[in-house]
Structure 1
Amino acid sequence: MRKKVLISFIVLTVVGLSFLISTYFMKRSIYKRTYSYSDNILANPLMGYAPSALEDVVSDDISLVYVDITWKELEAEKGVYNWEAIEEENQFARWRDEGKHIVLRFVLDYPSDDRHQDIPEWLTDEMADPGDWYRSELGKGFSPNYADENLISYYQRAVEAMGEHWGNEELISFIELGGLGHWGEWHVDLEAGIRQLPDASVREQYIEPWLSAFPKADLLMRRSFKAAEKYQLGLYNDMAGHLTSTNEWLDWIESGGVYDQTGEKDLVAMPDAWQESPIGGEFTSSNTMKTMLVKNLEQTVHLIRESHTTFLGPKIAQNVSDNKKGYNTVLKNMGYRLWLSAADLKESGSSTELTMTWKNSGVAPFYRDWQAYVYVQDLTGRVVEKAELPLELTSLLPDTEQTVSVDLTTKDVADATKNQYRISIGIVDPMTGKDAVYFAVKGQEEQNRLVLFE
């Protein structure tokens, strides 16, 4: 009996030791590394300043440019679209080659110093009641009758045409839904004798065609309309940096309210909209850059952060000596800031498990499901393994983290600790097919492929 007990004990001991040994060798940590956060400027895609696409020179931090198109520019002759002229003037080929993306706005009324109209004459000829000429403090121009059925029908055709021409590529990444009002900002100067904008059911007809025409772009609205909530759209603020106006805009987002142009209770609370859809806009023209970037810099940054702003343009902070600090400070407080706090290599049977902790220390998410990869390179720099990361970039909200793991099958990848291999990560822009995102990691801020081990 005692002999049987002894044998059982020995068997259990051997089995237990075998289990411990196998577990040890199955996932044995062979190398760990931690990384430090950097608050340096990052020239990252789909965020930051968006100057006019007409500019000859842009600074190195620019990854977005802004394009506005009037209907008259697009379709001066009925059914004939001026693609070539628009693309040439706005340098589409250049920005595509440089990997920069576009913010687009389609405008029907752009006030200026001269009497003019921004919708084509052939269209007004077909409208029984085309609209209102105006002269106000905002400038001169022509405000179309937005309730006109002909106008709406042709508008939808124009949007469909733009979608067929531009909507299936990644170049145009954000669309600020213009269409209605001065500058496409969904308001008109009623004191100038202009009729009010139509009711919500009519206004929604200016939104719907964009949804299918540009499936790869994020759409943004000037206010938190019910339609913005319905279609999960982003928002934009063309008075960024102006305390009163921005606080009013933030109050609409927080609490909803009455649309002052029509008296409808059409503004709804969308306080978490930024978690799913981007916030854009541009700096106000009501304050000087010196006021916003020097005197009231702390206030400006607070408003930018409270808005969870991803991009601003075409009126942007001026990158000149007097404003340099303010320019950089605002830029560092827009958009996402992705980085890794730690990485760990473990032996796992015939493969090596790489585990990483990803963080976002920005004010907004990254709004694209771009694919992140792990690269294993040999001593010659040749990529011997490229593995997809199971990472949900869009759900990496500010001040959150995700831990992700991937198995690497390269033989002896553990020798990365002996300078046999370099292991790095990158996020690929589908427009260029190249790693495009810079990480907020000290010492590697200018590398769009973050080195983990070498």
Structure 2
Amino acid sequence: MRWFRVLFVLLIVAGFGLTWYLLQPQNSLVWQTFTPTVIPLEQAELANPGRGLYQWRGQTMICPSELISNRERYDRWTWAELEPNENQYDWQEIHQLLDMAEQNGQRVWLGLGASAGPSNNGPFLPIYLQKPEFGANFEGDWYPNYNHPFVQNRLEALLAAFVAEFAGDQRILGVQMRSYGRYGEGYLPWNADKSHGMWASESTARWLVDAWHTRLSPHFLISIPLSNNPVFYYAMTKQPYWSITRDALGMPEQMGNIDQLIQSDITVDGQAIGPLVAERWKVAPMFSEMIGEYGERDYSGQFLAAQTQVISYHISYVSNGNFAQPYRASPWDFWRDPINCPEQASNWSNADIENFMLAGKLAGYRYAPTTIKLAIDNQQLQIESSWQNAGVAPIYERWPLVWQLRDATQTVVWQGESSLDLRQLLPAQAYEHRQQFEQFKLPAGEYELRLVAPAINRYVRPLQLAIEGQLDDGAYRIGILSIR
């Protein structure tokens, strides 16, 4: 019985001890909350990489800098321009474009290898390949026969030479696969007999995609024009994911081809193409180009249509050029004075400008932290933040976010990189992020809290967030953190 009395006494003592502990005041985290002021869409454009109005082949239709992102520029070359003679490659114009982009704080998208189209401005395909065994003419245009081993060998050589010349160049953001179809847009004449060599067989379609993928995907993001053919279908199954290009922004009939593919029952190697197209914007950018000339029609609705389509199809890039008549003349004379952009008469109405400008603003991402909370406990700094993406798509590059604390002399006394991955912040979704930083030791006092998304290489600037308080170095002043 003695052991029972001892146990009974111990239980009583433990009970008193627990009661005493629970009655004592418990330490609780003291949170300090900051609420950044979000910049509304109606204010000036936030120029950021990977989104918005890009410079299309030298044109700048919307000119004032406060209205455009202009962080990328785009141009393209035919196969004949890149290889004027067999095994002789000419990269001079691409180098010039890259140098010009660097001077203007831009990166570049390149369209490579278009091999079929009207020859009034020169051949698309090198002359040495324009022989009956390597292709054939159709309605005045020469089309390569990619089913032929020699043509395949020459395209592989072109791609290998491009990679040897430009791999590792961080000024190149992406490369469009322009090898198949008229103008490199993936479509072929509907009235061409299926026995014509222009049509790629199933195995050739796979070879064409693999030729590009194995050589370029380790170095560059690849984009392919949307089209209803086996080349496009197979490209949608590759990883790293290929981007989609649509050269028809502003034209509902042509943009509707996206919906047709989404609703199709096409499969490749057991993968349904519809969902791959529908969800592609979540992992790779939707790259668009205005419709340009498409026969005699009324083009006045293209500006509002572009705005609607940017939202519907989660477009990240909108070409700041390639408009059909009578809209080829810009409201600004960029060619005469690209710095001051003097206004000039044009067929653009104020509504046209506003609609197209808004299409550019909506394109891509628009990130903002809406609430930031900090608490310190036992040498641990806890940060909770709420985020929104008011754009239509995410960013597609890993972009760091860094928290900083500065003392009264503006010296950085602590900083830590956030684990938040902006690529995961999809539009129309509230996002909560929590992170704990260990071994946080700062003396009592007041410190300025800053947030910065630093440049990821020397060709870009720090990322702009849609909040007020940006400083000259690209960082954002959030508020004063008090440590007691």
Partner of 1:306: 312
Give, as a single letter, the amino acid of the residue that structure 2 aligns with 1:350: Q
CA-CA distance at 1:95 after TM superposition = 1.7
- The separation in 2 between residues aligned to 1:435 and 1:252, in whole angstroms, is 37
CA-CA distance at 1:48 after TM superposition = 1.3
TM-score with structure 1 length normalisation? 0.82
Residues 208 and 334 of structure 1: CA distance in aligned 2, closer, same or farther (over 3 Å): same
Give, as a single letter, the amino acid of the residue that structure 2 aligns with 1:220: S
Partner of 1:200: 202
Partner of 1:261: none
CA-CA distance at 1:388 after TM superposition = 1.4
Residues 82 and 379 of structure 1: CA distance in aligned 2, closer, same or farther (over 3 Å): farther
Partner of 1:86: 94
Give, as a single letter, the amino acid of the residue that structure 1 aligns with 2:437: D
2:33 and 2:371 in contact (8 A); partners too: no
Residues 234 and 434 of structure 1: CA distance in aligned 2, closer, same or farther (over 3 Å): closer
Partner of 1:220: 223
1:426 and 1:435 in contact (8 A); partners too: no
- The separation in 1 between residues aligned to 2:225 and 2:169, in whole angstroms, is 25
- SS of the equivalent of 2:152 reads helix
Picking from 288, 302, 306, the partner of 1:292 is 302
Partner of 1:407: 437
Mapping for residues 246-265 of structure 1, pairs under 5 Å: 246-256=255-265
- The separation in 2 between residues aligned to 1:387 and 1:122, in whole angstroms, is 58
Residues 56 and 311 of structure 1: CA distance in aligned 2, closer, same or farther (over 3 Å): closer
Give, as a single letter, the amino acid of the residue that structure 1 aligns with 2:223: L
Residues 414 and 339 of structure 1: CA distance in aligned 2, closer, same or farther (over 3 Å): farther
CA-CA distance at 1:98 after TM superposition = 4.0
Residues 371 and 350 of structure 1: CA distance in aligned 2, closer, same or farther (over 3 Å): same
Mapping for residues 371-410 of structure 1, pairs under 5 Å: 371-400=400-429, 401-407=431-437
Query: In terms of mean alpha carbon deviation, does 435-444 or 271-280 score higher?
Result: 435-444
Ranges in structure 1 where 5+ consecutive residues have no aligned partner: 259-265
Partner of 1:62: 70
Q: Does 1:436 align with 2:465?
A: no
1:233 and 1:277 in contact (8 A); partners too: yes
- The separation in 1 between residues aligned to 2:77 and 2:364, in whole angstroms, is 26
- SS of the equivalent of 2:458 reads coil
CA-CA distance at 1:56 after TM superposition = 8.8
- The separation in 2 between residues aligned to 1:37 and 1:215, in whole angstroms, is 37
Partner of 1:120: 126
Aligned CA RMSD, in angstroms, stands at: 3.5
- The separation in 2 between residues aligned to 1:6 and 1:433, in whole angstroms, is 71
- SS of the equivalent of 2:314 reads coil
- SS of the equivalent of 2:22 reads helix
1:438 and 1:447 in contact (8 A); partners too: no
Instruction: Give CA-to-partner distance per residue, 1:283-339, whole Å, 9 cap, x none.
Output: 11236764322xxx1x43222211111112363676657332122211122111111
- The separation in 1 between residues aligned to 2:51 and 2:313, in whole angstroms, is 14
Instruction: Give CA-to-partner distance per residue, 1:393-431, whole Å, 9 cap, x none.
Output: 22211122141324276654874xxxx433222223423
- The separation in 2 between residues aligned to 1:315 and 1:239, in whole angstroms, is 12
CA-CA distance at 1:377 after TM superposition = 2.9
CA-CA distance at 1:28 after TM superposition = 2.0
Partner of 2:364: 335
- SS of the equivalent of 1:391 reads coil
Partner of 1:361: 390
Residues 446 and 93 of structure 1: CA distance in aligned 2, closer, same or farther (over 3 Å): same
- The separation in 2 between residues aligned to 1:134 and 1:359, in whole angstroms, is 52
Residues 71 and 85 of structure 1: CA distance in aligned 2, closer, same or farther (over 3 Å): same
Q: Does 1:324 align with 2:353?
A: yes
CA-CA distance at 1:365 after TM superposition = 1.4
Residues 428 and 434 of structure 1: CA distance in aligned 2, closer, same or farther (over 3 Å): farther
Partner of 2:38: 36
Give, as a single letter, the amino acid of the residue that structure 2 aligns with 1:450: Y
Give, as a single letter, the amino acid of the residue that structure 2 aligns with 1:103: W
Give, as a single letter, the amino acid of the residue that structure 2 aligns with 1:52: W
2:471 and 2:477 in contact (8 A); partners too: no
1:96 and 1:171 in contact (8 A); partners too: yes
CA-CA distance at 1:134 after TM superposition = 4.7
Give, as a single letter, the amino acid of the residue that structure 1 aligns with 2:478: L
- The separation in 2 between residues aligned to 1:319 and 1:431, in whole angstroms, is 34
Percent identical pairs in the alignment equals 18
- SS of the equivalent of 2:454 reads strand
2:114 and 2:179 in contact (8 A); partners too: yes
Ranges in structure 2 where 5+ consecutive residues have no aligned partner: 324-329, 333-347
Q: Does 1:242 align with 2:251?
A: yes
Partner of 1:230: 237
- The separation in 1 between residues aligned to 2:206 and 2:443, in whole angstroms, is 56
Give, as a single letter, the amino acid of the residue that structure 2 aligns with 1:449: A
CA-CA distance at 1:112 after TM superposition = 4.4
- The separation in 2 between residues aligned to 1:274 and 1:392, in whole angstroms, is 16
2:389 and 2:426 in contact (8 A); partners too: yes
CA-CA distance at 1:277 after TM superposition = 1.9
- The separation in 1 between residues aligned to 2:111 and 2:161, in whole angstroms, is 15
Give, as a single letter, the amino acid of the residue that structure 1 aligns with 2:146: Y
Give, as a single letter, the amino acid of the residue that structure 2 aligns with 1:237: R
CA-CA distance at 1:357 after TM superposition = 1.4
Partner of 1:161: 161
- The separation in 2 between residues aligned to 1:35 and 1:115, in whole angstroms, is 52
TM-score with structure 2 length normalisation? 0.77
* Count of residue pairs the alignment pairs up: 429
Q: Does 1:50 align with 2:59?
A: no
Give, as a single letter, the amino acid of the residue that structure 2 aligns with 1:354: I
Residues 342 and 414 of structure 1: CA distance in aligned 2, closer, same or farther (over 3 Å): farther
Picking from 130, 133, 145, the partner of 1:129 is 133
Picking from 415, 424, 428, the partner of 2:450 is 424
- The separation in 2 between residues aligned to 1:357 and 1:449, in whole angstroms, is 18
Partner of 2:336: none
CA-CA distance at 1:448 after TM superposition = 3.9
Residues 149 and 102 of structure 1: CA distance in aligned 2, closer, same or farther (over 3 Å): same
- SS of the equivalent of 2:374 reads strand
- The separation in 2 between residues aligned to 1:434 and 1:385, in whole angstroms, is 25
CA-CA distance at 1:281 after TM superposition = 1.9
- SS of the equivalent of 1:227 reads helix
